[in-house]
Amino acid sequence: MPKRSSSVVGREFGAGVRAAIERTGLTQRRLAELLGWQEAKISDMLAGKGGVTEAEVRELLAYCRTPLAEREELLALFRESGNVYLQVPDDGVPDQVRTLINQERDADEIVCWSMILVPGLLQIPEYVEAVTAKARTVPPEKREAVAAARAARASILEYTRTFTFFVHEQALRLPVGGREVWREQLAHLLRLSVRRYITIRVVPTSVGMHAGAAGDFRVMRFPKYPSVIYVESVKCCLFFDDADTVKTYENILKDLAGVALDEEQSRAVINSILEGS
């Protein structure tokens, strides 16, 4: 893997190698000494910048006594190329893949567009449970754990970063989980909307056709890395960080911003739906 800018795949590979190193109890400096490497070489690898060969990766993982299955998974990530990363999770739950959780954790700004449901990061636990109960990809015995994991992701909503949520009006009007759950979800949105680091803007049904009609997506922006676009389907998820794709989705966000209500108007719409429910 030649030296390159950090990418989603590279950072996912780096996170896996970091975990393997941490289990040995060795510092990066000590491991570099034992392998006869410069410490910067390991630092670049963990940051997803490459600069190592496959043989060197095998050497490092062998020294760390990484289990065979984990070793093969990391080598497969190492061989990945390009700026598109497809993941098909074993449990059929795209929004719980480690890559997404890692990217969300590292981003300092997240912008979401949601057309059918309230955005996942804004969902209350009861709303999450109602959505999960209807998901055919989640077996009944796993629904409770999946719902709990999804709800826990809301912990990233903190003042050290900023969040913008574009939500279609129809997502707010969909009575998920019955009247009481639906009403509490709307009330939760109103409570969140007054936080300075959270912006909720409603795209009203009256605008008709709009740029976001192709589907939901998320843009994650980082202090040091290129922005990442996240798109999911029923059983898989895609990560993009090439400049052309990022620009396309950023342009969609600009178009949505042009038709979405402002924050005060959006609160008024949410409140009117709540009062009329």
* Domain definitions of the chain by residue range: 8-82, 85-276
- The pTM is what? 0.76
Q: Spell out, as residue ranges, where the chain has pLDDT lower than 70.
A: 1-6, 81-97
Q: What is the pLDDT of residue 97?
A: 66
CATH number of 85-276: 3.30.870
Is the Cβ–Cβ distance between 162 and 220 less than 8 Å? no
Query: 8-82 falls under which CATH superfamily?
Result: lambda repressor-like DNA-binding domains (1.10.260.40)
Q: What is the pLDDT of residue 264?
A: 97
Q: What is the pLDDT of residue 95?
A: 60
Q: What is the pLDDT of residue 4?
A: 55
